[in-house]
């Protein structure tokens, strides 16, 4: 949904990502859905020394003013915003984007959860706009949008040259209006068109189930602002149940707040154990996020986590920490691989820059953004399984827990 936003520690993990809840697509992952932090730009910082030749820029500027028949409809300030967008585009990073005033307001509204849309998170996979996951009980979910669906067109607009945020702007819209997505799904020969009516998006968080075979199931749909508290309640319910077998289902969970992922990992790790590392390359030293040391479980705990291509960002942080520390086994399919960290910068009082500043590494140093997480027990769900309402991933997890 992306890193997570950081005002007080505002991570969207790219959540936030990614991350951000966007158009009913959210980007999710630290009390920050995918953006790392908010900083300001001083006047002093605008004076940058450079050897670049700006004469081509001014020639284009003047030529536009002299020759374009539409130039009277575009203010000089809008031209500056367009130039900044092009500058950010030179990074060739789908998660770095400049927001002009109207876009910045919409983006902030979405972070706050005040949005309508269709309820899914998208990302770039092999330079193709791809669904990370639809959110439960949203228009996208009910329209049978699947993780991994490649979005070829949004209404009549081809997506091949769109950034993620440009795509989000086209997909979101007023409640009751319709958007048509042309998607290509692996295993099918031809693209399909899916019409979806936009609605207000209420992001689900968590369900629990105590199975007759003594397995306690937590289905976590997102790492929202209140998910750590809800997870705490689920842990109490698990302990009170007397069970020792825990199944955490992170399938289709596109992420959210980094702080929530760290807090959840702390239930299973000793104080000080690494949960995730933010690698800033040569820019500065890495930042390590460590367990808070709740660590209430003994060696008797049997723990399996379900993941798939819709598990991203904070989901990958939590699952990767459990896998690398030998706490849980992962069952399912390869996760999405959304492991870049964005920072949200206030450029002016009403414009924003979202820029990638780091990558997330699991405790063993694996880069989440390279290829995602590999399950200990790879299990795919075929179309035949879906048609027969069979869940071989869940069945495998139950088998392991009941051994």
Mean pLDDT along residues 156-166: 91
Contact, 62 vs 54, CB < 8 A? no
Contact, 255 vs 220, CB < 8 A? no
Catalytic residue among 37, 324, 335, 396: 324
Catalytic residue among 37, 169, 338, 359: 338
Can 338 be counted among the known catalytic residues? yes
CA dist 179 and 181 (Å) reads 7
Can 313 be counted among the known catalytic residues? yes
Catalytic residue among 313, 315, 333, 369: 313
| 135 against 39, higher pLDDT | 135
pLDDT-derived band of residue 43, with 50, 70 and 90 as boundaries? Answer: low
- The sign of the CA dihedral 316, 322, 323, 325 is positive
CA dist 202 and 115 (Å) reads 9
Taking the C-alpha atoms of 344, 345, 349 and 351 in order, what is their torsion angle to the nearest 10 degrees?
Answer: -70
pLDDT in tens, 83-117: 999 999 999 888 899 999 988 887 776 665 556 89
State residue 397 phi and psi, 5-degree precision.
-60, -45
Predicted TM-score of the model (pTM): 0.76
* Buried-state track 104-115, b at ≥16 Cβ within 10 A, e below 16: bebbeebbeeeb
User: What pLDDT is attached to residue 251?
Assistant: 97
Q: Which of 221, 213, 1 is nearest to 95 (CA)?
A: 1
What tokens were used for 202? 């209420």
Mean pLDDT along residues 225-248: 94
What is the number of helices (H) and of strands (E) in the chain? 11, 22
Give the residues across from 38 on adjacent strands.
344
Mean pLDDT along residues 313-329: 97
User: What pLDDT is attached to residue 46?
Assistant: 57
CA dist 374 and 161 (Å) reads 30
Residue-range domains of the chain with CATH: 116-200 (2.30.42.10), 206-338+361-401 (3.90.226.10)
| pLDDT greater than 80 at residue 9 | no
The CA-atom distances, in angstroms, between 221 and each of 16, 150, 230 are 15, 21, 12
| pLDDT greater than 60 at residue 28 | no
Can 371 be counted among the known catalytic residues? no
State residue 24 phi and psi, 5-degree precision.
80, 5
What tokens were used for 290? 């460590």
pLDDT-derived band of residue 263, with 50, 70 and 90 as boundaries? Answer: very high
* Buried-state track 250-283, b at ≥16 Cβ within 10 A, e below 16: bbbbbbbbbbbbbbbbbbbbeeebbbbbbbeeee
| 226 against 59, higher pLDDT | 59
Q: DSSP characters for 175-235?
A: TT-EEEEEEE-TT-SS-EEEEEE-EE-----EEEEE-TTSEEEEEE--B-TTHHHHHHHHH
State residue 320 phi and psi, 5-degree precision.
-65, -40
Q: Which of 116-130, 142-156, 315-329, 354-368 has the lowest mean pLDDT?
A: 116-130
User: What pLDDT is attached to residue 2?
Assistant: 37
User: What pLDDT is attached to residue 298?
Assistant: 67
State residue 303 phi and psi, 5-degree precision.
-135, 125
Q: Which of 72-76, 186-190, 296-300 has the lowest mean pLDDT?
A: 296-300
The set of residues, in sequence order, having a beta carbon less than 8 Å from that of 197 and lying 6+ positions away, is 139, 176, 177, 178
């Amino acid at each position: 949904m992306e890193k997570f936003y950081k005002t007080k520690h505002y991570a969207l993990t790219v959540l936030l990502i990614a991350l951000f809840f966007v158009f009913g697509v959210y980007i999710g992952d630290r009390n920050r859905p995918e953006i790392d932090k908010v900083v300001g730009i001083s006047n002093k910082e605008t004076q940058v020394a450079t050897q670049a030749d700006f004469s081509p820029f001014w020639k284009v500027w003047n030529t536009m003013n002299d020759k374009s028949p539409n130039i009277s409809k575009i203010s000089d300030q809008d031209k500056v915003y367009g130039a900044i967008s092009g500058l950010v585009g030179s990074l060739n990073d789908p998660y770095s984007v400049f927001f002009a005033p109207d876009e910045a307001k919409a983006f902030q509204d979405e972070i706050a959860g005040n949005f309508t849309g269709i309820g899914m998170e998208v990302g770039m996979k092999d330079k193709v706009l791809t669904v990370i996951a639809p959110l439960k009980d949203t228009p996208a979910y009910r329209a049978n949008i699947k993780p991994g669906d490649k979005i070829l067109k949004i209404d009549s607009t081809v997506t091949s040259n769109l950034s993620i945020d440009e795509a989000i702007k086209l997909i979101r819209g007023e409640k009751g209006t319709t958007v048509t997505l042309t998607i290509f799904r692996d295993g099918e020969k031809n693209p399909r068109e899916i019409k979806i009516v936009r609605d207000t998006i209420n992001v689900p968080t968590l369900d629990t189930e105590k199975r007759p075979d003594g397995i306690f199931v937590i289905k976590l749909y997102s790492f929202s602002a209140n998910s750590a508290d809800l997870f705490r309640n689920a842990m109490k319910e698990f302990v009170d149940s007397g069970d020792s077998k825990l199944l955490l289902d992170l399938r289709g969970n596109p992420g959210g707040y980094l702080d929530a992922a760290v807090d959840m990992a702390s239930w299973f790790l000793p104080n000080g154990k690494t949960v995730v590392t933010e690698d800033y390359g040569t820019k500065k030293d890495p930042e390590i996020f460590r367990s808070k040391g709740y660590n209430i479980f003994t060696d008797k705990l049997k723990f399996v986590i379900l993941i798939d291509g819709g598990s991203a960002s904070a989901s990958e942080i939590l699952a990767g920490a459990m896998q690398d520390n030998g706490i849980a086994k992962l069952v399912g399919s390869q996760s999405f691989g959304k492991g870049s960290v964005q920072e949200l910068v206030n450029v002016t009082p009403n414009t924003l820059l979202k820029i990638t500043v780091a990558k997330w590494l699991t405790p063993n140093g694996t880069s989440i953004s390279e290829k995602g997480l590999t399950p200990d027990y790879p299990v795919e769900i075929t179309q035949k399984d879906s048609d027969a309402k069979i869940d071989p991933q869940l069945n495998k997890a139950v088998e392991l827990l009941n051994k």
